[in-house]
Amino acid sequence: MNGQATSSSSREDSTDVDSSVERHAINPLGLHLRSQPGRGNGVFTSTLISAGTLIEESPVLLISAEQWERGDMQKTIFGEYGFCWSGGGQAIGLGLASLFNHSPRPNVNFIRQPATSTIRFVAARTIQPNEELCICYSADESKLWFTPSGQAGAGASEALGKEKEGDGRSGRKTLSDETESLGQEGSRSPSRSDTGSLSSASSSSYAVYPTLPDRRPLDMPAPLHSGPSRPVSTVPAVLCPELDWREEDWVVRKGGTEPEIPGWSEVLRVKGPAELEEDAEDEGMLDVWVVSVDDSKLTRLVLDFAKERCPIDHRMRHLKRVARREHPDTGEPTTLIALCATYDSTLPALQTALSGYHPSLLDIQPFRRSVPASAARSAEQLLVKSPIWPVSYAAGTLKISDSSSWPIARKAWVHAGIQRIISIARDAKAAGEVPVGTFVISPPESIWPQTDAFIPPTPFLRASATDTRNTASHPLKHAALNCIRQIATLRTQPPFSEMQPTRNGADYLLTSLTLFITHEPCVMCCMALLHSRVREVFYIFPRKRAGGFESAFGVHGRKDLNHRFDAWRYVGKEGEVAAWKEELEIPEDLAL
């Protein structure tokens, strides 16, 4: 470093690394430097690094805001290497700290440690051999002073040149935009004023790693991030232990068989009303065999017959068995009983079954009737469908498993989450609480949806909670609300308050996080989860009356609310879940 202002391309030229030659390992993890055209040096690994590994704790040289300004340091090469530091100063990282290149989807997180004047670099996910280790300089790429390029292993290449979704900004400034606006042809310096900084003292200075800019997408509340002016929450919050799950244990070798997850069975996704309404538009009508009976004894017999011989399958589950309607021939009011769908039985077969069941059913003549093929998903639909045949009003309905095609690692991770909440709920019960357990966790990257729209969650963030309405004598201390509170508090405290969000919104409450909870949450908690921008919720015990997913509310998937998330019911092995249910029983109408 010669202290001269240097363009990224000239610095690249000045490096003494031959781009085709890998340097020898320079740290105990076997990391090495490699130079790439258009990016200069970067840090690479030749071995696999597990998520959570501490890559390096680098000491820093601190330069006060005043020294920085007075020395016009931003015009020197240091300008490309400084980390914003507390009090508006800058920190020059020693060791590898200064050599990590930028990626919008970093595989390394950095956590400033003002108490020790160091920065910790931690693997945000599993990093494969030969991948470049990258950090995110700024969630907003328009604030970069260089044009990102190359194949950053952390996924930079996918995002490069694309307009980012969800951050409310369009396009990036390129190097030439910047130089033009500054009138410094060939200079690397970006506009100084729009790089975030910790204090106004450094507002005119420039840093490689600006702190969170003060601009937020309009529809997103300001995060509960501590920031320099926000007090750290005094509510105690604990980072609970990691899940008992290791990605490496679930890697299936080519040609190998998948390991078994003891006790696993698929999970069912609860379709929300919006999705169901769309489905219902295609579903139309269903033909069923019905009989007309006006004698109460015969009615009883037919109902017994229906119960024993015509079990209701999932395509008829929304239909009431009995309807009081006009007889199609006489126009007189009569009692109609639905037996089965016409595709399930021919008319002669049904007649034989009826007469074989009881001699007094010999003369009963089933006839065909068209009824709604699905439940009502809204009050309007109820008004239209019920006069034809009484149907249930169900805003949320289970969809037979989407989880069968999941990679084994995701199933194992969900299974570990389920085991965790059972143990939390047991602790709650032992403490005399309503036995509900909940756990929120940042999912590992290998199980994220691989789309540009996905906002990467804050890594390693996790919390657990129980219901505390008894011990706190507070009717609103539901487990899910308590857990959201824990996350909010953790976000105000190091290391999370120090982490640079990889995208705008990533640091908002439960953005992109997964919540596990033993019992289907009540409508109030579902709304709180929705406001918190949770990504998905897994629960074990449905609560059809008091719950917010499977009930008429379908809070997680409504057209009239501004966030949707997935709700999954874990079915589990029959005996195991029944035993848990008994052990963790709560009154059906108690809100959770």
* 3-class secondary-structure state, position 43: strand
* Minimum distance, C-beta of residue 42 to ligand SAM, in the bound complex (Å): 6
Name the segment binding ligand SAM (CB under 6 A); options: 145-153, 316-324, 375-383, 568-576: 145-153
Q: Which of 44, 68, 78, 81 binds ligand SAM (CB under 6 A)?
A: 81
Name the segment binding ligand SAM (CB under 6 A); options: 94-102, 279-287, 423-431, 542-550: 94-102
Determine, following the binding rule CB under 6 A, whether residue 98 of this chain makes contact with ligand SAM.
Answer: yes
Q: Which residues contact 77 (CB under 8 A, 6 or more apart)?
A: 1, 2, 3, 4, 5, 6, 11
Q: Which of 41, 74, 486, 489 binds ligand SAM (CB under 6 A)?
A: 41
One-letter amino acid at 523 equals V
Name the segment binding ligand SAM (CB under 6 A); options: 98-106, 379-387, 496-504, 521-529: 98-106
Name the segment binding ligand SAM (CB under 6 A); options: 143-151, 254-262, 274-282, 428-436: 143-151
Q: Which residues contact 32 (CB under 8 A, 6 or more apart)?
A: 22, 23, 24, 25, 26, 43, 44, 45, 46
* 3-class secondary-structure state, position 309: helix
Please, is 218 exposed, middle or buried when counting C-beta atoms within 10 Å of its C-beta (0-12, 13-18, 19+)? exposed
Q: Which of 6, 45, 74, 101 binds ligand SAM (CB under 6 A)?
A: 101
Nearer to ligand SAM, 99 or 571 (CB): 99
**Residue 29 is encoded by which pair of tokens?**
């993890």
Bond prior to 495 in cis (omega within 30° of 0): yes
Determine, following the binding rule CB under 6 A, whether residue 99 of this chain makes contact with ligand SAM.
Answer: yes
Determine, following the binding rule CB under 6 A, whether residue 8 of this chain makes contact with ligand SAM.
Answer: yes
Determine, following the binding rule CB under 6 A, whether residue 156 of this chain makes contact with ligand SAM.
Answer: yes
Per-residue binder mask for ligand SAM (CB under 6 A), 313-352, x = binder: ----------------------------------------
Nearest Cα residue to 352 out of 381, 309, 315: 309
What part of residues 190-219 is at the interface with ligand SAM (CB under 6 A)?
208
Strands of the 367-372 sheet, one edge to the other: 322-326, 333-341, 285-293, 367-372
Count of C-beta atoms within a 10 Å radius of residue 208 = 24
Determine, following the binding rule CB under 6 A, whether residue 80 of this chain makes contact with ligand SAM.
Answer: yes
* Minimum distance, C-beta of residue 515 to ligand SAM, in the bound complex (Å): 34
Determine, following the binding rule CB under 6 A, whether residue 102 of this chain makes contact with ligand SAM.
Answer: yes
In angstroms, the CA 572 to CA 578 distance is: 9
Q: Report the chain's terminal Cα–Cα distance, integer Å.
A: 60
Nearer to ligand SAM, 99 or 240 (CB): 99
Closest residue by beta carbon to ligand SAM: 40
- Cβ atoms of 190 and 162 within 8 Å: the answer is no
Nearer to ligand SAM, 37 or 284 (CB): 37
Nearer to ligand SAM, 124 or 463 (CB): 124
Nearer to ligand SAM, 44 or 580 (CB): 44
Query: For residue 24, what is the DSSP state?
Result: P
Tokens 């997850």 belong to: 261
Pinpoint the alpha helices (H) of 148-293: 156-159, 175-182, 273-283
Tokens 């340091």 belong to: 73
* Minimum distance, C-beta of residue 492 to ligand SAM, in the bound complex (Å): 28
- Cβ atoms of 351 and 366 within 8 Å: the answer is yes
**Residue 513 is encoded by which pair of tokens?**
């996080």
Nearer to ligand SAM, 104 or 273 (CB): 104
- Cβ atoms of 58 and 35 within 8 Å: the answer is no
Determine, following the binding rule CB under 6 A, whether residue 38 of this chain makes contact with ligand SAM.
Answer: yes
Determine, following the binding rule CB under 6 A, whether residue 152 of this chain makes contact with ligand SAM.
Answer: yes
Nearer to ligand SAM, 58 or 98 (CB): 98
Q: Which of 149, 151, 360, 493 binds ligand SAM (CB under 6 A)?
A: 149
The CA-CA-CA angle for residues 145, 150, 155, to 5°, reads 95
* Minimum distance, C-beta of residue 442 to ligand SAM, in the bound complex (Å): 24
Determine, following the binding rule CB under 6 A, whether residue 106 of this chain makes contact with ligand SAM.
Answer: no
In angstroms, the CA 393 to CA 395 distance is: 7
Nearer to ligand SAM, 38 or 333 (CB): 38
Size of site (CB under 6 A) for ligand SAM: 19
In angstroms, the CA 95 to CA 460 distance is: 24
Q: DSSP letters of 491-550?
A: TTSTTGGGPPPSSTTTTSTTTT-EEEEEEPPBHHHHHHHHHTT--EEEEEE--TTTBSSS
* Minimum distance, C-beta of residue 136 to ligand SAM, in the bound complex (Å): 10
* Minimum distance, C-beta of residue 12 to ligand SAM, in the bound complex (Å): 7
Determine, following the binding rule CB under 6 A, whether residue 39 of this chain makes contact with ligand SAM.
Answer: yes
One-letter amino acid at 212 equals L
* Minimum distance, C-beta of residue 221 to ligand SAM, in the bound complex (Å): 31
Q: Which residues bind ligand SAM (CB under 6 A)?
A: 8, 38-42, 80-81, 98-99, 101-102, 146, 148-150, 152, 156, 208
